[in-house]
Amino acid sequence: MGASRFERFEKGEKPLFVPFITAGDPTSEITVELALSLEKVGADAIELGIPYSDPLADGPVIQRASSRALQAGMTLEKAMKLVSSMREKGLKIPVIIFTYYNLLLQLGEERFFALASENDIDGLLVPDLPFEESGELRQQCQNKGISFISLVAPTTSKERLKQIGHSAKGFLYCISSLGVTGVRRELSSDLDVFLKKAKEYSNVPVLIGFGLSNKEQMQSFNDLCDGFIIGSRIVSKIEELGRELIQLEKRKEALESFEEFVSSLVPSFVYR
């Protein structure tokens, strides 16, 4: 059952590490392999991004991944079914479906929840569904044992931060910088004030994401949060390795260099 995987989701010796990959980039089969690789190098959960024609919250790297995956024919339904393949191959960590709202609307909520339970899905994150519009869906997720992941930003008002923090499930996603996803060299210096507030109001682990790209950034926030979400940096590595990943004879090597890259990205204390 999905929710149980998140029950053990808390910061232990090491900060939590949640990578993001786009389903179907470069192919469905490789997405499954990449998920297993990520678990192997210490991921505590995976955000599985569903490609969308108009990804408003995403920067160029994830936009390109989205286009590649769409060309490969990926859909929300197919992506959810991929999670079953991941489980069959031994994936144990929670999987969160990251989808824009329109895709969910067109699939239909009923169908979504049926697929979520058939395919062992643990969480749902809808980046363009703000708190005010998500009430019903959050309730449904609660009933079906799916963790509905909420986001807060440094510009989120105190009142909203309180509300969102209190109702957060799984983990609270703190957006570290304004704008879109993507690597940034510098993060705002007020971030610690924001993270402290977020921790104060949240009943679940507080993770930061958007713009994270190196160990130094993560080390500096380790005391202020429970973990990290890394997207664009990982997705751009997949883009770089795309051709090798597709060729069967080079895949193993490519996956190894992917694992090595991800390992180098996160601070050593992330590792078991």
Partner 1 sequence: MINVYPDTRGRYGMFGGKFVPETVMFALEELERGFHDAMEDPLFIENVSNELIDYSGRPTPITFASHLTERLGGAKIYLKREDLNHTGAHKINNAIGQALLAKRMGKKKIIAETGAGQHGVAAATAAARYGLKCKVFMGEEDIKRQALNVFRMKLLGAEVIPVTSGTGTLKDATNEAIRQWVGSVDDTFYLIGSVVGPHPYPYIVREFQSIIGKEAKQQFKQLNHGKLPDAIIACVGGGSNAIGMFSPFIEEDKVKLIGVEAAGKGLDTEEHAATMAKGTLGVIHGSITYLLQTEDGQIQEPYSISAGLDYPGVGPEHAYLKHSGRAEYVSITDDEALEALSILCTDEGIICAIESAHAIAQAIKEAKAMSVDQSILVCLSGRGDKDVHTLFEREEFHDGSK
**Residues near partner 1 (CB under 8 A):** 52-57, 59-60, 63, 67, 70, 75-77, 100-107, 127-133, 151-153, 155-157, 160, 175, 178-180
SS3 labels along the chain: CHHHHHHCCCCCCCCEEEEEEECCCCCHHHHHHHHHHHHHCCCCCEEEECCCCCCCCCCHHHHHHHHHHHHCCCCHHHHHHHHHHHHHCCCCCCEEEECCHHHHHHHCHHHHHHHHHHCCCCEEECCCCCHHHCHHHHHHHHHHCCEECEEECCCCCHHHHHHHHHHCCCCEEEECCCCCCCCCCCCCCCHHHHHHHHHHHCCCCEEEECCCCCHHHHHHHCCCCCEEEECHHHHHHHHHHHHHHHCHHHHHHHHHHHHHHHHHHCCHHHCC
Q: Which residue, 102, 91, 170, 166, is CA-closest to 131?
A: 166
* Least distance CB 184 / partner 1 (angstroms): 10
Q: Crossing angle of helices 109-118/135-144, nearest 10°?
A: 30
Catalytic residue among 39, 47, 122, 239: 47
Nearer to partner 1 among residue 5 and residue 138 (C-beta): 138
Nearer to partner 1 among residue 3 and residue 153 (C-beta): 153
Nearer to partner 1 among residue 83 and residue 125 (C-beta): 125
Four-point Cα dihedral 197, 125, 262, 62, nearest 10: -110
Told to judge if 47 belongs to the known catalytic residues of this protein, a careful annotator would answer: yes
User: Are residues 192 and 220 in contact, defined by beta-carbon separation less than 8 angstroms?
Assistant: no
Catalytic residue among 58, 122, 226, 239: 58
* Least distance CB 145 / partner 1 (angstroms): 24
Nearer to partner 1 among residue 12 and residue 108 (C-beta): 108
Told to judge if 58 belongs to the known catalytic residues of this protein, a careful annotator would answer: yes
Catalytically annotated residues? 47, 58
